[in-house]
Each structure stands twice: as structure tokens, then as C-alpha cells.
Amino acid sequence: MTRITAACTLAVLACAVTAPAAHAGPSSPTTAVVSLGDSYISGEAGRWEGNSNSQFGSRDGTDRAYVGGCCSYDTSRVYLGGSDDNGCHRSDVAEILSNTIGVGEKVNLACSGATTANVIRASQGGQSHDGETPQADQLAPVAQRDAVKLIVLSIGGNDLGFADIIQECVTDWSTSSADDPEYCYDDQQPQVDARMPGAMAGVGNAIDEVRAVMAGAGYAQSDYRFVLQGYPSPVPRGAENRYPESGWSRLTTGGCPFWNRDSDWARDSLVAQISDNLRSVAAGRGLEFLDLRDTLQGREVCSTAASLANGSPSPTTSEWTRFLVSGAGQGDLQESFHPNAYAERGLGRCLTLLWSASPGRYACRNAPGQSYSAMTLAPS
């Protein structure tokens, strides 16, 4: 099991010496918060602070893995606990770590690319992912050792084929012209509709599995808060894209090769549909819900309200979404279209605000022109 905690930042031996007795569970003196799920909560793209087209060095200060010289990088500085090697990409600024909730441990079990089957226990048909056991099985020893006070789950997007949808939209933009555009929304929407019932059933099963693990460790549901969160849109509406729809700048400069019609669909239809369905699952299972559909408004890749870093990355002016990787010197393709380090810190701020609020349904939003510390949380 790969486990990332705030308390265990020293040697493994030191952590073992100070760890509380096994099987303390809800009565343990060590409290914890835990995240489960996919790339949108693991911290994928947390390596980056804004985007730059520079292929070398610090990439205009955006690459947090930069060590020095022309091309020296250490991704383990950002993606912790070996998750840089297996692709889980659990970043040091993932929301479960960047929040300021006062607990003893912060545990990130999420993994990029995970589906609902990767959350469900192996004994119940769950599947391993990236060489790791199902996340509910990883949760069990944490719940037995620590007093888990909050669990946050982000799952379902990969069951819907989110990455495939993005790939199709990029391909359609790249292989057609403004005079005769080939859109992705009309092909992809029926597929999303067909997959949605199964994906939401999977989310429900994942929730039930997490609760079963917690019950097995001696918890009543009132002993911890359980939050299901939605997804933000990584792309802006067509009218809010700062690059012209025709020509190659959306690809070669901005890293956002989508037709306006497809951008509008993704921003206002697809993300809304997924969010509404997740909210319904949360309500049906008695979970809290964190709505992220507007979290990146004005901070999306290519948004008119943001810009490339140009040597001075800033949480007030730079993009909070990773652009489509456009060169060998720009990290991993899988980081594309994910919240970057600025956004992860913003999500951590919203999680802190949620923790301070009464249990319920909330929407997380950024404050235009301000840093991630100015995030707001409102009833949804």
C-alpha cells in the first residue's frame, strides 16, 4: 500500500516508533483525513504552476520538479511515495494534503486512472490498479490504526471514458477545418448517456464498499464525514477562449485544440450532467457533495481571463489547468487537462472551508483575480 501522510515526513523508522497501536480505529488518539479515487483528487498535474511553451530549464518557473541546469528534474519531489513511478501521481499539493484541517495524518490513496472497480475490495470483485491493491483494501488498515474523521471520494469519470472523450475532441479539431468542422459532442453524448447508469451504479457500489470497510473497523457512520466530489471543466466556453478557433495556435501555443461548439458542450453540458448525476448518487447514499463544476471558471486552459506564464507564473494570472502536453520537455501526457498546483491548493482551501461548515452540499469556486487562498464555498 502506498500511503502519504503529513505526520510521517521523517524516516520510516521514526514513523513506526510514533505510530499508535494497531486496531485503535475510531478511538485512536491519531486523527486522519483520507482521499480515495482518481486523478482529479490524487493530484495529477500538481507538478505545474501555470503553463509555458518553454521546453527547457524551469519552463518559465512553472515546473516544480526542476532541479537545475538545462534538463534536470526530479518528479519524486512532487509525486510522492513512488507514485511518480507507477503513474498514480499523488502530488504534494493534492487537496487532501494542502488543506489546513487539524488532524494528525493526511492520507492520499487515490490513483490516476482509477475506476470504481479499483475502489471496491478485492473480496467483492474489485481490481488492482497500477500495481496497487483496491483502494478500499488500502483504507482498511488506515481505518483500524487511526481515527478517520473525513473521507473524500472522486470517482466515476474514468468509468464514463473521460480521457477518450477528450482524445476524440482533440482528434476532431486536428483533422477538420473551420470551414467544415468535425465535432465530437454529437458522437460522444450518446455514449455518455449509455455509460452513465453503469458508471453511477459503480459509484454507489464504491461508496457502499468504503462504508463496509469503516463499519468493519468499528465505525458508526456518525463517526466520520464522507464527501463525494464532482469534476471541474478543464476547458472554457468557446467565447471565453483567447485563441482564434481557426489556425493552429489553439494547439501549438495554447494547448487547447477544441472547436467552440465542443468546448461549450464540455463546459456547460457534459460536466453539468456528470455533476448532477454524482450529486444524485450522493443524496441517495446520504453523503455530502462538493460541486466543482465552476471551480476553474476563468482559470481553464486558454481562458481569456488567464495567460501563459511568460517567466512569471502567478496564481492570480496564470492558468490553473494543465494544457495539452506539446513536447518532450513538458512532462507526461496524462497530466493534460487536470487541475495544476494552483488549483489543487484551491481545492484544499475549499476542503478546509467544508470541514468548518455543517454537513451538506456545497459548491467550490475561485475568486476572479485573486489567489487560491480566496476560494469560496457556498451551499449548492
The C-alpha cell at 182 is 468535425
Beta bridge partners of 291: 363
Whether 4 maps to a domain, the answer reads: no
Whether 6 maps to a domain, the answer reads: no
Burial class of 125 by CB neighbour count within 10 A (0 to 12, 13 to 18, 19+): exposed
- pLDDT digit string, tens, across residues 130-167: 999 999 999 999 999 999 999 999 999 999 999 999 99
Count how many domains the chain has. Answer: 1
C-alpha to C-alpha distance for 282 and 292, rounded to whole angstroms: 14
User: Per mean pLDDT, which range of 9-13, 108-112, 196-200, 279-283 is the poorest?
Assistant: 9-13
How many other C-beta atoms can be found within 10 angstroms of the C-beta atom of residue 95?
A: 33
Mind giving me the DSSP string for 32-50?
A: EEEEEESHHHHTTTTTBSS
Q: Which pLDDT score is estimated for 325?
A: 85
C-alpha to C-alpha distance for 340 and 93, rounded to whole angstroms: 9
Q: Which pLDDT score is estimated for 239?
A: 98
Q: Which long-range contacts (CB under 8 A, 24 or more apart) does 184-189 make?
A: 184/259, 184/262, 185/261, 185/262, 185/265, 185/266, 185/269, 185/270, 188/270, 189/265, 189/269, 189/270
- φ, ψ (nearest 5 deg) of residue 215: -65, -40
- pLDDT digit string, tens, across residues 344-366: 999 999 999 999 999 999 999 99
Mean pLDDT in residue range 3-13: 35
Cβ neighbours of residue 331 closer than 8 Å, sequence gap 6 or more: 47, 48, 63, 65, 325
- pLDDT digit string, tens, across residues 226-258: 999 999 999 999 999 999 999 999 999 999 999
C-alpha to C-alpha distance for 228 and 207, rounded to whole angstroms: 9
Cβ neighbours of residue 9 closer than 8 Å, sequence gap 6 or more: none
Query: In the predicted model, is pLDDT for residue 21 greater than 80?
Result: no
Task: Assign residue 42 the CATH number of its domain.
Answer: 3.40.50.1110
Which band of pLDDT confidence, cut at 50, 70 and 90, is reported for residue 17?
very low
Whether 2 maps to a domain, the answer reads: no
Residue type, 122: A
Nearest CA to 96 among 304, 301, 355? Answer: 355
Whether 71 maps to a domain, the answer reads: yes
| Angle at alpha carbon of residue 122, lines to 117 and 126, rounded to 5° | 10
- pLDDT digit string, tens, across residues 282-335: 999 999 999 999 999 999 999 999 999 988 999 999 999 999 986 557 999 999
- pLDDT digit string, tens, across residues 74-133: 999 999 999 999 999 999 999 999 999 999 999 999 999 999 999 999 999 999 999 999
Burial annotation 21-36 (CB, 10 A radius, 16+ → b, else e): eeebbbebebbbbbbb
Beta bridge partners of 177: 180
C-alpha to C-alpha distance for 65 and 47, rounded to whole angstroms: 6
Which band of pLDDT confidence, cut at 50, 70 and 90, is reported for residue 72?
very high
Tally: H helices and E strands in the chain: 11, 9
C-alpha to C-alpha distance for 148 and 214, rounded to whole angstroms: 9
- Residue in the block written with cell 448525476: 277
Mean pLDDT in residue range 35-59: 96
- Residue in the block written with cell 499539493: 93
Threshold 0.75, pTM exceeds: yes
Mean pLDDT in residue range 56-74: 95
Residue type, 302: C
- Residue in the block written with cell 468509468: 159
Question: Residues 113, 27: contact at Cβ < 8 Å?
Answer: no
Give the three-state DSSP class for 297.
coil
Q: Which pLDDT score is estimated for 16?
A: 33
Q: Which pLDDT score is estimated for 379?
A: 98
Whether 289 maps to a domain, the answer reads: yes
Q: Which pLDDT score is estimated for 80?
A: 98
- Residue in the block written with cell 500500500: 1
C-alpha to C-alpha distance for 349 and 102, rounded to whole angstroms: 13
Whether 304 maps to a domain, the answer reads: yes
Q: Which pLDDT score is estimated for 326?
A: 64
Q: Which pLDDT score is estimated for 213?
A: 98
| Angle at alpha carbon of residue 348, lines to 344 and 354, rounded to 5° | 140
Whether 225 maps to a domain, the answer reads: yes
Q: For all residues of the chain together, what is the average pLDDT?
A: 93
Longest dimension (CA), the chain: 68
More confident residue, 10 or 191: 191
Q: Which pLDDT score is estimated for 259?
A: 98
Give the three-state DSSP class for 335.
helix
Whether 266 maps to a domain, the answer reads: yes
Residues of the domain holding 148: 12-379
Task: Using DSSP bridges, classify how beta strands 376-379 and 105-108 pair: parallel, antiparallel or unpaired.
Answer: unpaired
Mean pLDDT in residue range 201-214: 98
